[in-house]
Amino acid sequence: MGDAAILMGEIRALKEAFGESVEIEVSDQEPTVARRLYPGVRFAGGLNARRATGQRWQKSPVMQSIRWRRTWLAVRMLRQAPALARMLFSTRQLEHLARIERSDLVVATGGTYFVDHYNFSEKANELLAAQAYGKPTWLFTQSMGPFRRASSRALMRRIVAGSRGVFLRDERSREHLLEAGADAAKLSVHADAAFALVEPGRGAGARVGGAATVAATAPARARIAISVRSWAHARDDAESRYRRAVSDAARALARAGHEVVFLSTCQGVPEYWTDDSRHARGLLDELLADEPSVQVDEHFRTPAELAEHLRGFDVAIATRMHFAILALSVATPVVAIAYEFKSRELLRGLAMEEFVTDFEDVSGEWLVARTTEVIARGPALRGTIATMANTLRADAMRPAQMIRDAMLASALGATPASARDGGP
């Protein structure tokens, strides 16, 4: 999953910055599921953890709405009327608040959740609660905005004002926060946390007989991985046109003799809200029934396992941004379909914007043309991407180092060098 790739990258960066002995506890809405999938990470329920058990009425939309409103009110009372606020929290929420009180700092995970088409109040509550307790808070590398609602702009100003620093994945997100009135001195742009998973020194590899070795020429039969997803926020009939474009491209590439596999970061976890392999299977059944050679891979893999699996492909056609990032982390070239601006910003930052198109504009012809070009340029592209990936790894590590410097400077009563240089 993309969220897991971000989290694993953050944990690696924080451990490199603070040392392997640093204690990291992760708040999650589904801690039981998360512990099963990633047993090496300490997970606990956050303020909005889902109920694993309970009466049916307790899980009803009405009760969920009541709990949401009660939590919203309690968090906003926490600073001025803590005793009264604590009466509104559940026992499990009070246990989570106790963990926050015991922590030295709180880091909001990276990703894309502070955007208007998501309800980001639950994420905001975690930060506001930590800030009410006076904990140093940072926001790890994010894509944010645009914030069109006045309430969203006001909430983001409050969150940024109470944070020590906000790390962003692209300049466009920085502009969105500045438009909302956020303090520019607290904002800086860095590579996505998932790039911290790049293994230095692995170099550029191409699949030859199942091994990761350097290929001098483009393969006659390329291996192509395609990630698809459903996008509820698509305009008009854009999703049906997107499905048609992907299916047309898959058919053309398969008939050209290439191996085509549908694969995703979001699959194989029944408890997760979506499974892209189901969307891929539906696309095949509806639009590619005449192409039995096209495959759907439905297996769950951790981010590291998926990255290593993608090393064996020649091209990744990526709708999911972290599918693209994991491919790039092992020097596999990417052709991207951007359903949000973050994917375009990613490839623009790599000087590869020619290989990205928007969700609403994608066509089968464009996908085939770009994929064919990537296959032809593959060996050279892999070397270029490998060099970029190592640079991006260093940049993805930088926020954790800046947090460490700020914490050390605070303990010593000094101003960290990163702040003097214009960082948070």
Rounded CA-CA distance 23/35 in Å is: 16
| Residue 212 φ/ψ, nearest 5 degrees | -90, 95
Cβ pair 258, 374 in contact under 8 A: no
Three state DSSP letters for 359-379: CCCCCHHHHHHHHHHHHHHHH
* Torsion angle, alpha carbons of 337, 343, 347, 352, to 10: 10
Cβ within 8 Å of residue 239, ≥6 positions away = 230, 231
Cβ burial of 413 (10 Å; 0-12, 13-18, 19+) is exposed
CATH topology of domain 201-391: Rossmann fold (3.40.50)
> What is the topology classification, in CATH, of domain 2-195+393-420?
Rossmann fold (3.40.50)
* Cα dist from 85 to 10, 28, 88, whole Å: 32, 22, 5
Domain with CATH 3.40.50.2000 in the chain: 201-391
Distance CA 311, CA 331 (A): 7
How confident is the prediction along the chain (424 residues), in pLDDT tens digits per residue? 789 999 999 999 999 999 999 999 999 989 999 999 999 999 999 998 876 555 554 567 788 788 889 999 999 999 999 999 999 999 999 999 999 999 999 999 999 999 998 889 889 999 999 999 999 999 999 999 999 999 999 999 999 999 999 999 999 999 999 999 999 999 999 999 999 999 876 655 544 333 344 455 667 789 999 999 999 888 889 999 999 999 999 999 999 999 999 999 999 998 888 899 999 999 999 999 999 999 999 999 999 999 999 999 999 999 999 999 999 999 999 999 999 999 999 999 999 999 999 999 999 999 999 999 999 998 899 999 999 999 999 999 999 999 999 999 988 876 555 544 544 4
- Amino acid making up residue 335: V
- Sheet of 259-262: strands edge to edge? 295-296, 259-262, 223-227, 315-318, 334-338, 356-358
Are 6 and 192 within 8 A, CB to CB?
yes
CB 30 within 8 A of CB 50: yes
Give the span between the Cα atoms of 311 and 228, in whole angstroms: 19
**How many Cβ atoms sit within 10 Å of the Cβ of residue 318?**
32
106-108 vs 42-45, strand pairing mode? unpaired
Structure tokens that stand for 16 in this block: 């490199």
